[in-house]
Amino acid sequence: MYGRTERSEKTERAERTVRRASSNLSVNGVLEVNNSSAQNTDCSLTTDDEDSDNKTTISYKERRREAHTFAEQKRRDAIKRGYEELQHLVPTCAQQDSLSSYKLSKATVLQKSIDYIQFLQQQKKKQEEELQVLRKEVVALQIMKSNYEQMVKLHQQTQPGLNCNQVSDEVKLSVFQALCDSLFISFDSSFDVTNFQELSSRVFAWLEEHCNSRNMKDHAIAILSQLKR
């Protein structure tokens, strides 16, 4: 009886040891499986992140390349339009382009544009000089007109009873034309209208000498005598 009980206790201890070992193996296996699964998950996440970063980098480079290509094409189109407008604006370019079958080079268009601008500048300078001469002539004529008006007023005051209707308008015009021609001959031989300072300083002396009442009367009498003949 005693021996059987002792064997039973040994058997129970052995079974408990086996069960404990089995339990430990199960727990360790689960832990190893969980650890392996976690590592696989981490590797998968890391690979996905790297692929996403690579795609983002490639997309950014492509956008930059497309933007640069678009800007360059836009710049070239603007330059092309500028040369085409120059060819239409510059007469020498437009004439040569219509007569010849080949297209003008950019260097030719630029050179012809420069030549045309220089021509316009010369024309502008010439016209400004002509304008200055005309302005001086206008001032001289205004001075003469003012003096003639004063002489007419003075003549009307000295002869208040003179009837101007006794002479026809045609005769008046003829006398006036002949008188102006005679005075112009003297004026033209005495002055240089291109020198405004000389003209201004000498015109009044000339008026006093040639356009006083006695000389004007002598001129008028001589002209009327010629018209009566």
Token pair of 13, please?
């201890």
In which residue are the tokens 């008188």 written?
179
> Percent of the chain scored above 70 by pLDDT?
66
Summarised one tens digit per residue, pLDDT across range 98-115 is 666 678 888 888 898 899
Percentage with pLDDT > 90 across the chain:
12
132 with 115: CB under 8 angstroms? no
Whole-model pTM: value is: 0.42
Q: What is the mean pLDDT of residues 22-35?
A: 47
Residue 31 half-sphere exposure, CB side, CA atoms within 13 Å?
Answer: 6
DSSP 193: T
CB contact at 8 A, 93 and 104: yes
Per-residue model confidence (pLDDT) at position 27: 42
Question: Which tokens sit at 71?
Answer: 């800007």
Quick one: 112 exposed, middle or buried, by C-beta within 10 A (0-12, 13-18, 19+)? buried
Average pLDDT, the chain: 74
The CB density around residue 186, as the number of other CB atoms within 10 Å, is 14
